[in-house]
Amino acid sequence: MARGMVAVNVSALCDTPPGQQGRPSRSLTLQQVAALLAASDGHWMHAYVAVCVGTGIRTEEIRALQWSSVDLDGNPDADPPVPPSVQVWRSVRARGDVKTEKSRRTLALPQLAVDALRAHSQREQRIDGLVFATRTGRELDAANVRREFRKACTAAGVGPGWTPRELRHTGISLLSLGGLPVEEIARIAGHSSTRTTEVVYRRELRPVITGGAQTVDRLLGPAAPPPPGSRPQSGVA
């Protein structure tokens, strides 16, 4: 139609069938994450879970991760100190590009992920190439990861139906649980806006949202300091 070669796009005359409603993503609790890490100890899935939860990295990003993009030592003597980190610059998408421009990021690694990756490198005896790969050194496909992840979930007793992509949701939700501002969480996740972080990825893991009540108590509760400029009451009617 743009080139004037046809007058009508026949697909526009068709009624498209409605798509199936997707299953909403979930987030593991802190206790479930601990059980999953314990159950997968000694297996490559342990490091996979630790990195995903510890950084909120996407599944297509971690499957393309190479050891050359991982720094397990950092440089504590630098000014400012450089922590252990991972460069999230590639994915298994077409041409190896990450999802968006803001998805290209370098993230500090928590000690949990550092320890897991170091043990993984020693166990696999790999110092180059892909961090997570098949026995022949080739890239893991999504089916490989799903199968091993489900085995780990079964061993951990966290229940059925979990998928590897929900480790990213879990990592982002745990950052929120720890009180990290949503703007910083969005930067870590590689989101272009905080709305994506809040609406799509973050799950409230607290049974009761306490931030509002705690803030009001801090300002107006019995232990709150008197407002600036107020006079102490004399106690005389």
* Residues involved in catalysis: 58, 99, 168, 191, 201
Q: Using CA of residue 80, residue 188, residue 130, residue 150, what is the dihedral sign?
A: positive
Side-chain half-sphere CA neighbours of 42 within 13 A: 2
Helix (H) or strand (E) holding 121: helix 111-124
Long-range contacts of 97-101 (CB under 8 A, 24+ apart): 98/61, 98/190, 99/58, 99/60, 99/190, 100/190, 100/192, 101/192
Question: What is the C-alpha separation between 55 and 70, in angstroms, rounded?
Answer: 13
**H helices present in 40-110, as ranges:** 44-55, 59-62
